[in-house]
Amino acid sequence: MTPLGIDEAKERLLSMIGETVYVHLEVNPEAYIRNVACRLKDVAIMGDHAYRVHLVFTEPAGLLSISGVTDFVDDGGAIVITGFDDQSRIRQTLTVSRGCLAV
């Protein structure tokens, strides 16, 4: 995994606009969804140190918003966006990829 700065992460996500992407979201404790296919319409990353990420989708229409994001990495083409709690445990992870991930 390669760490990304916020500008590089946003640039990579913006490069996926108009494409079908696969969204994978895990929120701890105990919420998980994997390989949801949708067409990416828009991307916004806001904040300072703890970021908010908004993804807008078409086909089907939808919005995904995640806050408290602290880290962005490239995992072989998939963009992994993670937020940690005050004890350095993963609180949530959002992955956006161009292909399905293993289940």
pLDDT for res 24 = 97
Question: Two tokens at 103?
Answer: 């289940």
Read off the pTM. Answer: 0.93
- Does the pLDDT at position 94 exceed 90? yes
> Is the Cβ–Cβ distance between 70 and 90 less than 8 Å?
no
**Of residues 60, 66, 59, 58, the one with CA closest to residue 95:** 66
* Paired strand residues for 57: 40, 62
**Per residue in 27-81, pLDDT tens?**
998 899 999 999 999 999 999 889 999 999 999 999 999 999 999 999 988 999 9
- Is 2-97 a CATH 2.70.180.10 domain? yes
Average pLDDT estimate for 84-92:
92
Q: Give the pLDDT score at 62.
A: 97
DSSP state of 12: H
